[in-house]
Amino acid sequence: MKVHKVLPFLFLLMLMISCSKRQTVFSSFDDYPTTDKNLWLTYSKDATTFKIWSPKATAVKLNLYKTGNNSTVFETHVLQDDTNGVWSKTINKDLNGIYYTYQTYINENWNAETPGIYAKAVGVNGNRAMVLDFETTNPTGWKEDKHVKLKSPNDAIIYELHIRDITIQQQANSSFAGKYLGLVEKGTKSSLNVATAIDHIKELGITHVHLLPTFDHYSIDETNLDKPQFNWGYDPKNYNVPEGSFSTNPFDAEVRIKEFKTMVKAFHDANIGVILDVVYNHTGRTETSNFNLENPEYYYRFKENGTYSDAAACGNETASERKMMRKFMIESVKYWLEEYHLDGFRFDLMGIHDVETMNLLAYEVKQINPNALIYGEGWTAGDSPLPEPKRALKKHTKQMLKIAAFSDDIRDAIKGSVFEDKSTGFVSGAKDTSASIKFGIVGSIQHPQINYKNVNYSNEPWANEPWQAINYVSCHDNHTLFDKLKISQPKASAKKLKAMHKLATAIVLTSQGTPFLHAGSEMMRTKFGEHNSYKSPDSINQIDWSLKVKNADVVTYYQNLIKLRKQHPAFRMPTAKMVQENLEFLKSENRLVAYQLKNNTNNDSWKNIFVIYNSNTKPINYKLNTTWNIAVLHDDFSFDEEKSISNQIKIPAVSMAILYQK
């Protein structure tokens, strides 16, 4: 009896002593004491150590729970104030399966509970973290699982998808619709008897899947998944935990982790890499974010008037240049690499981050996985207090030797501006796009035959090597390729739309940069004109598997393009020097671009390759000086049969031709 009375008294006494400490006032963020200490929870069967960095706090308490929700605190502990703002507590017993939260006492007020920014496992809706023995989450064969290898980054063919989109339609016939396990379920076929899910991705020949944000985010209520809900996930809550709505049981913190790993393992078994879309540039909430509940204001940038800066157009922007934010970002990506065996990262609004942090991060990533792909959006959504020369913008890619950036140059040159519905591009009738198309073909590098003054957004090369340009024509943002073409060319026939669609992707997959495809574009996916479907219903966002049959010729065209690129390394030269020496542009006009790849470049089996893009609305007769073999003409791909041609070749309207000499 006496023991039970004494313990609460001692706890309250410790808490009172701790809270009586005066808060330190810092004149600037640079004055905060920082640390190199490991801030992750450390677990063993004998003890668990909890840690949090909060220099502004005068007390920190730890609350323990039996469940991730709907239960009360069964134990509370006071954390010890260590050095440099670190608070810690070691509990000497096996806490595996116990949930917990932190609370910081700042400005004589207890902040709301937080799982902490270094949480690795969380319960439903990510409100409570969990102590977990991660060995129990490893699928069979996990220790033998390997990263996907690449000779050069532009050997990759990236396929951007949202996990729910792929299998949520009833036609997908998934046992786990919209889930991690559904994405990698083998043997699924639509009601029209075509492969869906991972079998479809394998059929295409994709080398890497790019998952839209798949860490724990705010938008989806995981307690109510019987109600259809959708969000792209660009509203981060817990950065180091898989999203629970894609798991079969979001209430059990262990389940989402094991199922995410099972998904990665299945892709790796198919020799397909897994890239995670990461959103370190802003948090999904501002005042009540886990960052602010732990250590208010430090992790964010502010305007001169003291309000939150918002270069992300989402309410706030993080401060990657500050030591503890930089530490968090670098350790977070390393954690995903090591714990989940990822093959790369796509950085949302990378231009908000500073160049130095991105370079340090890339170095650490490559130390763990030399084959990892690191790329991002080389722009911001608004102005930032970070000086422009320090921003990881597309135009500063030359300063980031291990990082690639999206090429909006080739994207809009091919189909027209994403910001103007009626704007057209090379494939849809625009004039004066050839310089921008050529710029995309060489991978945004220096090339003597390009007039950079005529390139749409770049008046100089911004890539050191061709693989640093992520070449694409559509992604989750803006209209799908089909919708953009239809909106900008409303009078075009179905046949012409299909031809433009094919030629657009042919340019991407025969260019020297790293090709990037939007999931569903291979079957002419539509979002029915919706250009910002971030929270649209499944009826807008889902992959409609009937289109795979309706547009089977487009699917086949994509498959053949990918096969051609894989078989012929001339289309993916690893260095700028090789491109400059072996890629020569020939006759080009407003609606026609032609070039040669020479000298068995990059050890290609074909000595010379001749590529012609014709976006004219009528066939053209292209004169030839010597004899060539036809590899591609319109929809026909000749992988084995040799068909020679001399004098001239008739190239159909809005199509590509590829010729070769052995």
Per-residue 3-state assignment (H helix, E strand, C coil) for 270-282: CCCEEEEEECCCC
Percent of the chain with pLDDT over 90: 95
User: Is residue 346 located within the same domain as residue 468?
Assistant: yes
Decide if 132 contacts 119 (C-beta within 8 A): no
Query: How much is the pLDDT for 421?
Result: 97
Domain-ending residue, one of 539, 571, 603: 571
536 plus 610 within the same structural domain:
no
pLDDT tens for 32-61 read: 999 999 999 999 999 999 999 999 999 999
Contact (CB, 8 A) for 638 and 630:
yes
| pLDDT-based confidence at residue 3 (cuts at 50, 70, 90) | very low
Looking at the DSSP bridge assignments, the partners of residue 63 are 76, 101
| Domain termination site, one of 95, 122, 137 | 137
The answer as to whether 210 is a domain residue is yes
> Tell me, what DSSP letter sits at residue 305?
T
Q: 592 and 557, same structural domain?
A: no
Look at residue 14 in the predicted model and tell me its pLDDT: 61
Q: Name the CA radius of gyration of the chain, rounded.
A: 27
- Structure token pair of residue 525: 């996916």
Residues composing the chain: 662
595 in the same domain as 548: no
Closest CA to 413 of 421, 424, 402: 424
CA angle 405, 407, 409 (to 5 degrees): 150
Q: In whole angstroms, what is the distance from residue 279 CA to residue 299 CA?
A: 14
Q: What is the pLDDT of residue 19?
A: 66
Give residues with Cβ within 8 angstroms of 289, minimum separation 6. Answer: 283, 316
Given this model, what pLDDT does residue 22 score?
63
Same domain, 78 and 100: yes
- Total structural domains within the chain: 3
**Residue 46 sits in the same domain as residue 119:** yes
Residues 374 and 491 in one domain: yes
What pLDDT is attached to residue 18?
61
pLDDT at 472: 98
pLDDT in tens, 607-632: 999 999 999 999 999 999 999 999 99
Residue 86 in domain: yes
For residue 594, the domain's CATH number is: 2.60.40.1180
pLDDT digits (tens, 9 = 90+) for 57-99: 999 999 999 999 999 999 999 999 999 999 999 999 999 999 9
- pLDDT tens-digit series, residues 563-576: 999 999 999 999 99
pLDDT at residue 20 tops 90:
no
Asked if residue 263 belongs to a domain, the reply is yes
| Structural element, H or E, at residue 515 | strand 514-518
Q: Is residue 565 domain-shared with residue 604, that is, in the same domain?
A: no
CATH number of the domain bearing residue 251: 3.20.20.80
Type of residue at 282: H
Please check the confidence at residue 10 and state whether its pLDDT lies above 70: no
8 Å CB contact between 180 and 245: no
Query: What local confidence, expressed as pLDDT, does residue 199 receive?
Result: 98
Confidence band, pLDDT 50/70/90 cuts, at residue 2: very low
Strand locations in 183-306 (E)? 208-211, 215-217, 236-242, 273-278
Residue 289 placed within a domain = no
The stretch 192-218 carries a mean pLDDT of 98
pLDDT band for 202, please (50, 70, 90 cuts).
Answer: very high
Q: How confident is the model at residue 17 (pLDDT cuts 50, 70, 90)?
A: low
Residues with Cβ within 8 Å of 131's Cβ and at least 6 positions away in sequence, in order, are: 41, 43, 48, 95, 96, 97, 98, 99, 100, 121
Within-domain flag for 64: yes
Residues 99 and 183 in one domain: no
Active site residues per annotation:
348, 377
Q: Which amino acid is at 229?
A: Q
Q: What is the pLDDT of residues 167-180, one digit of tens each?
A: 999 999 999 999 99
Beta strands in 92-172 (DSSP E): 99-105, 129-130, 158-161
Residue 88's CATH number: 2.60.40.10
> 140 CB contacts (<8 Å, ≥6 apart)?
none
Joined tokens for residue 292: 């602010």
Does position 241 have pLDDT exceeding 90, yes or no? Answer: yes
- Shared domain check, 444 and 532: yes
The pLDDT score that the predictor gives to residue 589 is 77
- Residue 302 β-bridge partners: 308
Whether residue 304 is contained in a domain is answered as no
- Average per-residue pLDDT in the chain? 96
Convert the pLDDT of each residue in 318-359 to its tens digit. Answer: 999 999 999 999 999 999 999 999 999 999 999 999 999 999
Q: Is residue 220 part of a domain?
A: yes
Of 283, 340, 276, nearest to 120 (Cα)? 340
Residue 93 and residue 129 in contact, taking contact as beta carbons nearer than 8 Å = no
Q: What is the pLDDT of residue 8?
A: 57
Asked whether residue 422 falls in the same domain as residue 562, the answer is yes
pLDDT at 587: 77
Dihedrals φ, ψ of 504, to 5°? -55, -45
For residue 546, the number of C-alpha atoms closer than 13 Å in the C-beta half-sphere is 4
Contacts of 66 (CB under 8 A, 6+ apart): 74, 98, 99
pLDDT band at 6 (very low <50, low <70, confident <90, very high): very low
Q: What are the tens digits of pLDDT across the range 291-325?
A: 999 999 999 999 999 999 999 999 999 999 999 99
Alpha-helical segments (H) within 20-132: none
Q: Tell me the residue ranges of DSSP E strands in 326-406.
A: 344-347, 373-376, 404-406
Domain-terminating residue out of 549, 571, 593: 571
Structure tokens at 520: 């569903």
309 three-class SS: coil
Q: Are residues 196 and 70 in the same domain?
A: no
Give one DSSP letter per residue of 345-361, joined into a string. EEETTGGGSBHHHHHHH
Identify the domain containing residue 258 by its residue range. 165-278+328-571
Q: Is residue 387 part of a domain?
A: yes
